Structure 1
Amino acid sequence: MIRVSAFALMCVLAGCATTPPTPEEAAQKCEERAQAAQAPTGGVTVGVNSRTGVSTGIQIGVSADLIRGRDPLEVYQSCVMDMTGEPPIRPARLRAL
């Protein structure tokens, strides 16, 4: 049986001329997605300049996987499988919470 990854199928349907990601590239992208499933992401910025004075910003991100309560390791494994059609080449490196 031949397993076709979702990425490859989308490329065929869309006429992509790009090559699929390497297993390591897929692992890195999928780790980011799995980390976003662990907890909200975000940041705070503060800046000062002579024209506008003090500026501040807050950014908060919540992934759909986090809202659904999906297990980050399952998110990682299914993401790699979808991108490459193969199981992950290494375990996910996730943040300790």
Structure 2
Amino acid sequence: MIRMLAVSVLLSLVLTACNRPVSAERAYAQCSEQARLAERPRGSVGIGGGTGGASAAFDLTVTSDFLRGRDPYVVYDTCFRRLTGAGPTRPLIL
């Protein structure tokens, strides 16, 4: 019985910690990034050479928000509200 009570208290503390709102600055950074990726994909290409021979790298990031054509400003607003529990404190600058 005591073990069951201890487990339920610990579980409730963990779940409460997961739902804790983040700071407005952190939310701005994370949500701005999501909005930028909703506006357009991001990619990079790298080519190099050295004593070991030639090398190349390619990276492409495409989000489902971009593929669905979601408005970046709506993505930003929704993300900010989800993370902080309140509306954005700063406007989105793309």
Q: TM-score, normalised by structure 1?
A: 0.75
Runs of 5+ in structure 1 lacking a partner? 1-10
| Counterpart residue number, 1:43 | 44
| Counterpart residue number, 2:62 | 62
Instruction: Give the distance between the partners of 1:18 and 1:65, measured in 2 at CA.
Output: 23
- Which has more helix, going by share of residues? 2
Tell me the number of residue pairs that the alignment of Structure 1 and Structure 2 aligns. Answer: 83
**Paired AA for residue 57 in structure 2:** G
Q: Which has the higher contact order (CA 8 A, sep 6+)?
A: 1
Percent of paired sites with the same residue? 35
Q: Where has structure 1 moved over 6 Å in runs of 4 or more? A: none
Instruction: Give the distance between the partners of 1:12 and 1:75, measured in 2 at CA.
Output: 30
Structure showing greater Rg: 2
Across the aligned residues of Structure 1 and Structure 2, the Cα RMSD in angstroms comes to 2.3
| Counterpart residue number, 1:25 | 26
**Paired AA for residue 42 in structure 1:** G
Give the 5 Å matches for 1:70-89: 70-89=70-89
Instruction: Give the distance between the partners of 2:39 and 2:47, measured in 1 at CA.
Output: 26
Q: TM-score, normalised by structure 2?
A: 0.77
